[in-house]
Amino acid sequence: MDTSMLLVVGLLMTAIAYIAGRGRSISVASGVGGVKNLNSLPFYYGALTALWCGIPSFLLLAIWAIFDDYFISQIVVQELPEHVKNMSESELGLLMNTVVNTAQNSSLGLSSEPHILQAAERLRGLEQTNQMAMTVAFISAGIIMMMATWLRIKSNMPARVHVEHAFKWLLLGSACVAIFTTVGIVLSVLFESLRFFQSVPVTDFLFGLQWSPQMAIRADQVGGSGAFGAVPLFAGTMLISMIAMLIAVPTGLMAAIYLAEYAHPKVRSTIKPVLEVLAGVPTVVYGFFAALTVAPVLRDTGSLIGLDVSSESALAAGLVMGVMIIPFVSSLSDDVITAVPQSLRDGSFGLGATHSETIKKVVIPAALPGIVGGVLLAVSRAIGETMIVVMAAGLAAHLTMNPLESVTTVTVQIVKTLVGDQEFNSPKTLSAFALGLMLFTVTLVLNFIALQVVKKYREQYE
């Protein structure tokens, strides 16, 4: 049986173990006067048997599947003729590849050398044996564990405690998935970045004021030598994010205050979902709204009052991005403001404070951690946003603080360097990873600072 088939069989076995364990506990129970005299409910005995059957056998299968290739190829290599065995490692690897391919499909005629054909034959034989052994080991492990647990079921066996314990480990494992994924992402970005920094000095990248990543791939090609100064990109990102936050934070916060404090419940239940629809609009749609509607309006208005506004401006991108993230700020803030206990408001009203004084001095301070959380989420969205910027703010890396000019952002450049044909040894491609690492670091630092700020200023109600 192949491995995917074994998985199905394993699940089947586990299901049988559940039924067997459950049945066993019920029959044990009839000997001691009914299910009520069991230590745990029959469900727990079934679950425990299933766990004992499933977990060890699947673990065995996993370990076996990970290591069997290595051992099999070791055996095959050992049996190769002396002169072949003494070849360098990379040559040996190539040869083993040929052997594997030949073994899988001998009609290809990849090689006619007798020692390769012989090795391929041997490999095929070994693999068949291995698969057989794996099937037998897997199934017998499952059955043995099932039987062992089945025999151990007694009326006083604390199955519930064991199952609860296993459940706790399952939850822990789920929590770890997110953490390990993050670590994995960081590591992969980190290693590619290190390769980038081998060809471009870190200082040039961090402090260079020029970004033009075009590089000649072949020596005879016409092309730039490449300049990898990330400052213009980060300046552009900061500029656009800042404009977006200037729009989103006041508007979102005030919308949230209106919804939570002043709006009639009926109004609230209508407006809130409508506001949240904004969050569901694809960013591409926002992108062409920015590029085709907002940017021309800005340019025309600018020319009316004698300002030179470029047709792709940071302002257009920032404005539309700001509108896009309003729901992030408003929805989360609304939730935390609503969660502030009514007793605090009553206390403030009882002292003669007006509604707005109460909001300013009691409700907002109490809701601050949640509000900052919403703002942080919005900032991350703004920094990570790509489509709007590509369409509305342009691709040219200008180092400017003037919102009327076109700028570009880190994410846009990452996309730009990674689309189309590319070579993974060229600094141009690798620069994307360095940019990603920088972006990651910046958002991490921002988060950290915000958390510290919240810790300092939070006013905790119970």
In the shown chain, the binding pattern of residues 289 to 328 toward another protein, with x for contact by CB under 8 A and - for none, equals ----------------------------------------
Contact 410, 424 (CB under 8 A): no
Pairing state between β 227-228 and 211-212: antiparallel
Size of the site for another protein (CB under 8 A): 22
Looking at residues 53 to 82 of the shown chain, list those that interact with another protein (rule: CB under 8 A). none
Which one, 173 or 347, has the nearer CB to another protein? 347
**Min. distance of Cβ 269 from another protein in angstroms?**
15
366 binds another protein (CB under 8 A): yes
And the tokens for 3?
């491995």
Please, what sign has the CA dihedral across residues 42, 48, 49, 54? positive
- Using the contact rule CB under 8 A, the part of the chain among 126-134, 224-232, 342-350, 424-432 near another protein is 342-350
341 binds another protein (CB under 8 A): yes
Which one, 238 or 353, has the nearer CB to another protein? 353
Which one, 61 or 362, has the nearer CB to another protein? 362
Contact 370, 336 (CB under 8 A): yes
Which of 208, 365, 373, 384 binds another protein (CB under 8 A)? It is 365
Separation of alpha carbons 424 and 284, rounded Å:
28
Query: What are the distances in angstroms from CA 446 to CA 187, 384, 449, 451?
Result: 20, 13, 5, 9
**Min. distance of Cβ 461 from another protein in angstroms?**
4
Classify each residue of 402-421 as buried b or exposed e, where b means 16 or more C-beta atoms within 10 Å of its C-beta.
ebbbbbbbbbbbbbbbeeee
**Min. distance of Cβ 275 from another protein in angstroms?**
23
Looking at residues 345 to 364 of the shown chain, list those that interact with another protein (rule: CB under 8 A). 345-354, 357, 361-362
Which one, 149 or 348, has the nearer CB to another protein? 348
Separation of alpha carbons 453 and 22, rounded Å:
54
**Min. distance of Cβ 361 from another protein in angstroms?**
7
Which of 69, 164, 308, 459 binds another protein (CB under 8 A)? It is 459
End-to-end CA distance of the chain: 59
Which of 90, 107, 225, 343 binds another protein (CB under 8 A)? It is 343
Nearest Cα residue to 399 out of 216, 231, 251: 231
85 binds another protein (CB under 8 A): no
Contact 233, 397 (CB under 8 A): yes
Which one, 290 or 362, has the nearer CB to another protein? 362
Please give the sequence-ordered ranges of beta strands (E in DSSP) within 193-309, or none if there are none. 211-212, 227-228
Separation of alpha carbons 292 and 299, rounded Å:
11
Separation of alpha carbons 54 and 8, rounded Å:
12
**Min. distance of Cβ 362 from another protein in angstroms?**
5
339 binds another protein (CB under 8 A): no
Give phi and psi for 399, each to the nearest 5.
-95, 100
**Min. distance of Cβ 349 from another protein in angstroms?**
7
Looking at residues 141 to 200 of the shown chain, list those that interact with another protein (rule: CB under 8 A). none
**Min. distance of Cβ 376 from another protein in angstroms?**
21
**Min. distance of Cβ 146 from another protein in angstroms?**
55
Residues that bind another protein (CB under 8 A): 341, 343-354, 357, 361-362, 365-366, 459-462
